[in-house]
Structure 1
C-alpha cells in the first residue's frame, strides 16, 4: 500500500515562455496546455518537445520497456484530463506528472482502500474529493517518474524524490514528482499564443 504524506501545494506564477526556452540542470519546466480536439496529442507533445530538441523528427517517440516515452538527453512526462494537459520537463532527473480535472468522485473510498494505506485514507476521508485527487495525482506522478503504470505498481520502489501539487486554473489539480531529493527551480509556462 502506498502511504506517503501529501506533498505541499505550491502557487504557480504562470508566465508566457521566452521564444528560446533554455533548461539548465536544476530547472523544472511545467507547461499548462489546452488541447484542441482536431490536433492529435502526439503532435502537440512533439511541438513542445521541439522547444528543447529543435531537430526532433516526425517518427513516433521511442518508449522504455514499460511504455514511457523518452528522448536521449531530455527527461519529460505529460498528462491530460479532458482538454487540459500538463507537460513536465526536467533538467536532470526522471520526472512524472499527473493532472485531473476537479470533480466529485463517488468511488474515491473504494479506490483509496485499494491503493492507499490507512494514514492516507484517513486524510482523504477528512479532506474529501480535492484531497483524493491530490493523492491520486501524486501517486500517478510518482509511478510515472519511475516509468511504470498504476497496474504495475508492485514494481515501484520507495525512491527519494521531490514532489509538489499545484492548481491548474480553478478547475484542475496536478502533482509533479522528480526523482531527486533536491528542490528544483520551477518555471510555470502557459503558452496560449503558441497554440
Structure 2
C-alpha cells in the first residue's frame, strides 16, 4: 500500500516559453497545453521535445521494457486527460507527471482501499473528490518517475523525491515527481494564449 502526505496545491506562474528553453541538471520545465483533436498524441509530444532535441526524428519514441518513452540525454514524462496535457522535462533526474480533469469520483473509496494506506485513505475521505484526484496524480507521477505503471506498483521502490501538486486552470489537477531530494528550479510554460 502506498501512503504519503499530500503536498500543498500550488498556484503556478504559467508563462510564455522562451524560444529556446535551456535545461541544466537542477531544472524542471513544466508545459501545459491543449491537444489538437486530429493530431496524433505522439506527434504533439515530439513537437514539444524538439525544443530540447531539434533533430528528433519522426520515428516512434523508444520505450523501456515497461513502456515508458525515453530519449538519450533527456528526462521527460507527460500525461493527458481529456484535451489537457502536461509535459515535465527534467535536467537530469527521472521525472513523472500525471494530470486528471476535476470530476466526481464515485469509486474513490474503493480505489483508495486498493492502492492507498490508512492515513491517505482518511485524507481522501475527509477531502472528497479533489483530495482523491490529488492523491491519485501524486501516486501515478511517483510510479511514472520510476518507470513503473500502476499495475506493476509492487516493483516501485521507496526513493527520495520532490513533489508538487498544482491546478491546471480551473479544470484539472496535476502532480509532478522528480527523483531528487532537493527541489529543482521550476519553470512553468503555457504556449497558448492565457485567458
- TM-score class normalised by the smaller sequence: over 0.9
Aligned residue for 1:124, secondary structure, equals helix
Shift of 1:66: 0.7
Instruction: Say which SS state the counterpart of residue 15 (structure 1) adopts.
Output: coil
Distance in 2 (alpha carbons) for counterparts of 1:18 and 1:105:
37
Partner SS state of residue 110, structure 1: helix
Note the 1:1-195 alignment, pairs <5 A.
1-192=1-192
DSSP-derived class of the 2:54 partner? coil
Measure how far apart 1:38 and its partner are.
0.6
TM-score, with normalisation over the residues of structure 2? 0.98
Aligned residue-pair number: 193
- For residue 8 of structure 1, report the CA deviation from its aligned partner: 2.5
1:2-51 per-position Cα deviation (integer Å, ceiling 9, x unaligned): 00111232211000001111111111000001001110000000000000
> In structure 1, what is the Cα distance between the partners aligned to 2:156 and 2:25?
25
Query: Secondary structure of the equivalent of 1:58?
Result: coil
CA distance in 1, matches of 2:165, 2:53: 27
Deviates further, 142-151 or 184-193: 184-193
CA distance in 1, matches of 2:159, 2:24: 23
Q: Structure 1 residues 1-10 or 130-139, which shifts more?
A: 1-10
1:68-96 Cα deviation digits (max 9, x unpaired): 00000000000000000000000010000
Work out the CA distance in 1 between the residues paired with 2:146 and 2:25: 19
The two structures have a TM-score, normalised by structure 1, of: 0.98
Deviation sequence 1:85-117 (CA, Å, 0-9, x none): 000000010000000000000000000000000
The 4+ residue runs of structure 1 with deviation greater than 2 A are: none
The answer for unaligned runs of 5 or more in structure 1 is none
Aligned-residue Cα RMSD (Å) equals 0.7
- SS of 1:131 mapped into structure 2: helix
